[in-house]
Amino acid sequence: MEKYELWSVGRVRHPGGQTIIEIDPQYVPALDGLAGFSHVWVIYWFHEHDDPQSRQLLKVHPRNNPANPLTGVFGTRSPRRPNLIGLSAVRILGIENNLIWLDKLDAREGTPVVDLKPYLPGIDLHPEATTPAWVTRAGSGPRETQAH
């Protein structure tokens, strides 16, 4: 198994109910040009699940609902997975200095941000995409849980 090293470029903050990514000062020049985009892919690290048990878990009940089928983590958005990488497409509300204001990022306070990539509608949008039934089932809930 090969190992790779990642560095965080900033952290998620939630002051007063807002969502902000605070970029580390040395990475501020990398923000140049991002303000021209309405949305951004935020790639982050599920740091609260960085333990051997979470990394070995390979199946979960999607969205923390035991009524959903036991599913391999690669078929879910579970934070428990071999590599604890999270990915969210989020609307940019504003950028000032090293702060990026976002709309509803589903990452917790202090979550390390690994990378940002602009959302490109012509490449990132796939209207023909399909999903399993559990994705749209009412009452599926927002979170995922480990298998028992």
Give the tens place of pLDDT for each residue, 5-62. 999 999 999 999 999 999 999 999 999 999 999 999 999 999 998 999 889 999 999 9
pLDDT digits (tens, 9 = 90+) for 63-112: 888 999 999 999 998 999 999 999 999 999 999 999 999 998 989 999 99
| 4 domain residue, yes or no | no
Domain annotation covers residue 5: no
6 versus 143: the higher-pLDDT residue is 6
The confidence score (pLDDT) of residue 138 equals 55
Residue 3 lies in a domain: no
pLDDT tier for residue 124 given thresholds of 50, 70 and 90:
very high
d(C-alpha 148, C-alpha 35), whole Å: 44
69 within domain boundaries: yes
Per the structure, the count of domains in the chain is 1
CB 43 within 8 A of CB 84: no
Q: What is the mean pLDDT of residues 121-139?
A: 85
Give the domain extent around 81: 10-120+127-146
- Please give the pLDDT value at position 44: 97
R_g of the chain, CA atoms, integer Å: 17
pLDDT at 146 over 80: no
Specify the pTM: 0.86
Pair of tokens at residue 62? 């999607």
Assigned domain for 18 exists: yes
Nearest to 100 by CA among 52, 61, 42: 42
- In this structure, are residues 22 and 128 in contact, taking their beta carbons and an 8 Å threshold? no
Q: What's 60's domain CATH number?
A: 2.40.30.70
Residue 134 lies in a domain: yes
